[in-house]
Amino acid sequence: EPEVTQTPSHQVTQMGQEVILRCVPISNHLYFYWYRQILGQKVEFLVSFYNNEISEKSEIFDDQFSVERPDGSNFTLKIRSTKLEDSAMYFCASRAPRGSYNEQFFGPGTRLTVL
């Protein structure tokens, strides 16, 4: 069964460093998402991506964040200069083309720890 994969499973970084979180969505999906979950809090939407551009983003997704689909298979989230409060679990999700059942398929997450 196709699945969304994410790497790494755990990333530890120093405050101020850049991190790139990687996701491989399901191959025929066209909509891509990043969510995050700070420990003990709810899952929050960060950004959606369609047709090689951002379609929607939340207030959390400021200039320190960027997304890219560099090669038609990977979908990345970059944080340019990490802060302590960026420590969270980051989930990637993908969805099939519009008009189909709108289930999002989630990856297992990357736990980001900023020291």
Q: How far is the CB of 17 from another protein (least distance, A)?
A: 25
Q: Does 108 bind another protein (CB under 8 A)?
A: yes
| Nearest to another protein of 63, 103 (CB atom) | 103
The conformation of residue 14, written as its DSSP 8-state character, comes to -
CB under 8 Å to 64, separation ≥6 — which residues? 79, 80, 81, 83
In whole angstroms, the minimum distance from the beta carbon of 22 to another protein comes to 15
Q: What does the alpha-carbon distance between residue 33 and residue 66 come to, in Å, rounded to a whole number?
A: 12
Give the separation between CA 10 and CA 88, rounded to whole angstroms: 10
Tell me which residues touch another protein (CB under 8 A).
Answer: 4, 6, 31, 33, 35, 41-45, 48, 50, 55-56, 91, 93, 95, 98, 101-109
